[in-house]
Amino acid sequence: MGLGKSTTSAHLFVTLKVLLTCAILSSSLREPELVLPTIISGLQVYFDRSLGANLLYRFERPQYAEIRKQYVTGPKVQVGQEKDMSAIYGAEHLLRMLGMILSA
């Protein structure tokens, strides 16, 4: 367990207890056949959950509501036959999400 210091927004130092260092993380990530599917799955879940609230422009939200009604919540949708939004929306919205993640 290493001890380090990090600066806050007020430029004051805070002591950090580091249980998982970058070196430990990078050594555990050397198995891409395990890591890559996990990352992709996480991005898909994030996309599906954040699309309506964070990724769409205001003028796109009525269309989103209709699509959800048609594929997720509507009376003609059978249980177990719902579609994830990531199976409907395209690369434009995925890139929008990645841009938001990278700018945060």
* Domain positions in the chain: 32-103
Q: Which fold would CATH assign to domain 32-103?
A: Enzyme I; Chain A, domain 2 (1.10.274)
Q: What is the pLDDT of residues 61-98, one digit of tens each?
A: 999 999 999 999 999 999 999 999 999 999 999 999 99
Question: Residue for token digits 């999400």?
Answer: 97
pTM tops 0.75, yes or no: no
Q: Is 57 left (phi over 0), alpha (psi -120 to 50) or beta?
A: beta
- Going by pLDDT thresholds of 50, 70 and 90, the confidence category of residue 30 is confident
